[in-house]
Amino acid sequence: MVDIVVSLGRVLAALFLVVLNGFFVASEFAFVRIRSTAVDRMVENGRAGAATLRDALDSLDDYLAATQLGITVASLGLGWIGEPAVAALIEPVLAPVVPPGTVHLVAFGIGFSVITFLHVVFGELAPKTIAIAEAERLALLVAPPMKFFYYLFLPGLVVFNGTANWFTRAIGIPPASETEETLSEEEILLILSRAGEEGDVDADEVSMIEGVFELDDVTARDVMVPQPNVATVPADTPLPELRTRTVEHGHTRYPVVDGDAGEEVVGYLDVKDLLRADESGDTTAVTAGDLAREMPMVPETTPVDDLLAEFQTQQRQMAAVIDEWGTLEGVVTVEDVVEAVVGDLQDDFDDHAQEPSIQRRNGEYVADGAVALATVNDTLGADFENATYGTLGGLVFDRLGRPPEIGDAVTVDGYRLEVEAVDGARPRGGWPGRVRGRRRRVGVTAGARNRAHRHDGTSRGDRRASHSPASMSSAASASPYRSRAVSKNYARPYETPTTVSVTLAGGEQA
């Protein structure tokens, strides 16, 4: 009778150790799982136990060491007490049916299996699952008792941590901290991408956030309207002619240029100033130079985030982009910078007919020269690449080594690219430019955004289906929301044939 009572007491002690082991496991996962920002919010709201939890997270390494020490002690105690207790209870039951020499061995096997099951299921797996699912609630619950165990185990923690840190330093590995929560840009983008795929964050929001991260990698040259596509006005243009030009082009701001080549920018003309001049009376002697406002000049290598700060500081909507020799390369507006984040912005005045396209016709593909290589690759399943140009027309020009003519053909990656039409020195297909996973537009309008299109990439919808090149980091390339394919060089005006037909090199249908 006494032996049975002792065995039952040992079984109860074993069950207690299982619960204690589960407590330490749950505490460890809850402390690791909960975010510091969530704890700060709970402290601000005055939730019970939040201050204690905050203290625990401030000493997270020590508290985790305490949970690990507790798990070790509970597990060792369970093995020491549990198996003999269970074996002692079942040996009398097995004695009549099991040979005397094997009773203890069989009882040991059964006892070991029972204790292992209880330890793994109720001491490890179940507490871990609960802690992950209810991290905030459980962390608040376990913080006060864990504070007691922390001080109880503190002498041992000092010895164990000190010895472990000495050993890791001896083998050349510095001690690491569990409290290091800083994430790299690639890790943040990967988290955002996964959140977007799971539907926790809106896809448009993911795309915009990725655009913000890209700003420091994008320069004024990447987003500007190239100089050949800028509608400028000479400084000596009289007011009547200015009115005619503004009606013809439909923009709200125009760079005012001086000099024979028209590359020296003296300012910009705002249509509002033109309207005020019309109301002032005698306007026969007024010229564009008289109405010109000061225009910021920025190098073509200026990062877009610095450019945006420049716009805010100088309270301007447009800037002239110059190269290292001071030559006008193009014009950039606030809208260009915003489009680098949110994608293409269009209004009722935009010319949708000029959108570059690629279409299937009689077994072959016919594409505008300004269609981005990324779009062509997605459509054909091809792998067109070019380090200098980002459009199909630019690729043809690069392979020809001269301005294209009707009938010219090149073979690239098993496809025959034939020029079907050109439009003088300036192709109707648009400006080849670079590829940023969105369509660019031509014009110098800010505010009202009355602009023609500039083309050099895929649309915002296209970019969600495209992936980055292999040169990108793994985190960034995992995102399906924004293409980061970037070709750093612009093409010249004559580099894009208007229409290119694409067939397989052997004459077969594509």
pTM over 0.85: no
Residue-level pLDDT at 494:
38
Q: What is the mean pLDDT of residues 1-24?
A: 83
Calpha distance 179→386 (Å, rounded): 45
CA distances in angstroms from 41 to 2, 44, 47, 176, listed in the order given: 55, 5, 9, 27
For the stretch 312-326, what's the b/e string if a residue is b when 16 or more beta carbons lie within 10 angstroms of its beta carbon? eeeebbbbbbbeeee
Q: What is the mean pLDDT of residues 481-495?
A: 36
DSSP letters, 400-419, are HTS---TT-EEEETTEEEEE
Taking 70 as the threshold, does the pLDDT of residue 308 lie above it? yes
The conformation of residue 391, written as its DSSP 8-state character, comes to: B
Closest CA to 369 of 186, 240, 501: 501
Q: What is the mean pLDDT of residues 304-330?
A: 85
Q: For residue 104, what pLDDT band results from cuts at 50, 70 and 90? A: confident
* 3-state secondary structure (DSSP) of residue 77: helix
* 3-state secondary structure (DSSP) of residue 235: coil
Q: For residue 69, what pLDDT band results from cuts at 50, 70 and 90? A: very high
Q: What is the pLDDT of residues 125-143, one digit of tens each?
A: 999 999 999 998 999 999 9
Residue-level pLDDT at 431:
33
Q: Which two tokens stand for residue 402?
A: 């001269």
Residue-level pLDDT at 127:
94
CATH class of the domain defined by 216-342: alpha beta
Q: What is the mean pLDDT of residues 14-22?
A: 93
Q: What is the pLDDT of residues 159-216, one digit of tens each?
A: 988 898 899 889 988 877 666 566 777 888 888 888 888 777 888 788 788 778 877 7
Q: For residue 355, what pLDDT band results from cuts at 50, 70 and 90? A: low
Q: Which two tokens stand for residue 359?
A: 């279409």
Q: Check if the beta carbon of residue 83 is closer than 8 Å to that of residue 111.
A: yes
Residue-level pLDDT at 228:
75
Strand-pairing partners, residue 322, are 299, 328
Q: What is the pLDDT of residues 254-297, one digit of tens each?
A: 888 886 655 688 888 888 888 888 666 655 678 888 888 888 88
Listed by start position, the domains of the chain span 2-170, 216-342, 352-504
Q: What are the strands of the beta sheet with 225-226, ordered from one edge?
A: 225-226, 328-333, 318-322, 297-299
The conformation of residue 353, written as its DSSP 8-state character, comes to: G
Q: What is the mean pLDDT of residues 95-106?
A: 77
Higher pLDDT, 119 or 214: 119
What mean pLDDT is reported for the chain? Answer: 75
Give the E-state strand segments of 259-413 in sequence order.
Answer: 264-270, 297-299, 318-322, 328-333, 358-361, 364-368, 409-412
The conformation of residue 498, written as its DSSP 8-state character, comes to: S
Q: For residue 349, what pLDDT band results from cuts at 50, 70 and 90? A: low
For the stretch 380-411, what's the b/e string if a residue is b when 16 or more beta carbons lie within 10 angstroms of its beta carbon? bebebebebbbbbbbbbbbebeebbeeebbbe
Asked if domains 216-342 and 352-504 share a fold, the reply is: no
Higher pLDDT, 172 or 428: 172
Element (H, E) at 38: helix 36-44
Phi, psi dihedral angles at 190 (to 5 degrees): -65, -40
CATH class of the domain defined by 352-504: alpha beta
Higher pLDDT, 338 or 170: 170
Q: Check if the beta carbon of residue 340 is closer than 8 Å to that of residue 304.
A: yes
Strand-pairing partners, residue 225, are 331
Residue-level pLDDT at 312:
87
Q: How far does the chain reach from its first CA to its final CA, in angstroms?
A: 90
